[in-house]
Amino acid sequence: MSNTKVSIIIPLYVDAPRFYADLRKFAKLNYPDYEILVVSDKNVKIVDPKVKVLITGKERTGPAEKRDIAIQKAKGEICAFIDDDAYPHSDWLKKAVVHFQHPQIAAVGGPGLTPKEDNYWEQLTGLVYGSFFCGGHAQYRFVKKPARFVVDYPAYNLLVRKSVLNDVGGYGTHFYGGEDTFLCLKIIKKGHKILYDPEVVVYHHRRPLFIPYLKQIANIGKHRGYFAKRFPETSFRWMYFLPSVLALGFFVLPFINWTLFVVLLVLSVGVGMCSVISKTNLWNSFLISLGIIGTHVVYGINFIRGLIFNNLER
């Protein structure tokens, strides 16, 4: 499988200096045969001979549309999806491609770890994501956890057979957020398997805590709520509803029993701090615990919004 050609696909949203710095790190990949396809709405200057720039010719397209354009141009047997704010470990492709020798495996994903060079507030967000009390059942997406089969995986680190992508019609959606859930659902419905391997690593830059991060969480919650209604096969699960229950509790409980609300709030902060105190100092643990609480409240509220929406394309 080491001779299998891989097409790395990057949908470019903002051509910031950090993107070019991250792109240079792809040269460290320990894999013999790959190409990089960068898809942008406007022209960008990239001189790396391994990189091909595809221009959409449109004013604004989402990541799913950009990826579908690249799939049509890809020369590899495997399409490796990664975001424009991420870069791979040197063994990324080497560790992933070996799994495709098993015909039942159509896709492989791995964790998006917080880069060491991220700033203070971005590192805090990484610790929020990595906390069990925030990530819960999906904690393995942000830190290394044992290998497993999954039914849904984010496209910041997802490799898929091109033949399967062609069979399911690619992403085939305008969803801006949750487009990977839609793709994975189509893959699962075809009877294929999606494997999570903790050694298939990319480094994914975080949004700074608090406001930028919580805006991202709001979008995730809104799309998951909409998908729970429209695509219940993989999104109508109790753990996706739990933050909404917690959010409603935070808003309703003060009117019922103020003392109990304060006790539960202090307890929540304490539990959040205990979950990360071994990884950082007391002050950081306090900030992270607030981030965990904020995550559940913001996600929960927007999950309800998603349930209410009749149409959600972007």
Average pLDDT over residues 197-203: 99
Nearest to 200 by CA among 299, 290, 287, 98: 98
The Cα–Cα gap between 201 and 108 comes to 11
pLDDT interval class at 313 (50, 70, 90): low
Whether the model clears a pTM of 0.75, i.e. scores above it, the answer is yes
Domain boundaries, given as residue ranges, for the chain: 6-206, 212-308
Q: Burial, 265: exposed, middle or buried (Cβ in 10 Å; 0-12, 13-18, 19+)? A: middle
pLDDT interval class at 2 (50, 70, 90): low
pLDDT at 175: 77
Asked whether residue 269 carries a pLDDT value surpassing 90, the answer given is yes
Q: Burial, 142: exposed, middle or buried (Cβ in 10 Å; 0-12, 13-18, 19+)? A: buried
What's the distance, CA 204 to chain centroid? Answer: 9
Q: Tens digits of per-residue pLDDT, 25-73? A: 999 999 999 999 999 999 998 988 889 999 998 989 999 999 999 999 9
Asked whether residue 308 carries a pLDDT value surpassing 70, the answer given is yes
Asked whether residue 111 carries a pLDDT value surpassing 80, the answer given is yes
pLDDT at 239: 83
Average pLDDT over residues 291-310: 93
pLDDT at 8: 99
Query: Is residue 289 within a helix (H) or strand (E), and if so which, with residue range?
Result: helix 282-308
Q: Tens digits of per-residue pLDDT, 135-186? A: 888 999 999 999 999 999 999 999 999 999 999 999 998 877 789 999 999 9
The Cα–Cα gap between 182 and 152 comes to 9
Average pLDDT, whole number, for the chain?
Answer: 94
Asked whether residue 286 carries a pLDDT value surpassing 60, the answer given is yes
Query: Is residue 34 within a helix (H) or strand (E), and if so which, with residue range?
Result: strand 34-40
Q: Which CATH architecture best describes the domain 6-206?
A: Alpha-Beta Complex (3.90)
pLDDT at 41: 96
DSSP state of 206: P
pLDDT interval class at 1 (50, 70, 90): low
Q: Which of 37-41, 130-134, 257-261, 276-280 has the highest mean pLDDT?
A: 37-41
pLDDT at 203: 99
The Cα–Cα gap between 126 and 288 comes to 9
Say if residue 303 is preceded by a cis peptide, omega within 30 of 0: no
Q: Angle at CA 130, nearest 5°, toward 126 and 134?
A: 105
Q: Which residues partner with 203 through β-bridges?
A: 87, 113
Asked which of 195-209, 214-228, 235-249 is least confident by mean pLDDT, the reply is 235-249
Q: What are 10's two structure tokens?
A: 């990057």
Nearest to 154 by CA among 133, 136, 171: 171
In this structure, are residues 133 and 271 in contact, taking their beta carbons and an 8 Å threshold? Answer: yes
- Residues 6 or more apart whose CB falls under 8 angstroms from that of 144 comprise 111, 113, 198, 199, 201
pLDDT at 234: 81
Asked whether residue 233 carries a pLDDT value surpassing 90, the answer given is no
Q: Angle at CA 72, nearest 5°, toward 12 and 179?
A: 55
pLDDT interval class at 312 (50, 70, 90): low
Nearest to 65 by CA among 192, 149, 171, 209: 171
In this structure, are residues 4 and 76 in contact, taking their beta carbons and an 8 Å threshold? Answer: yes
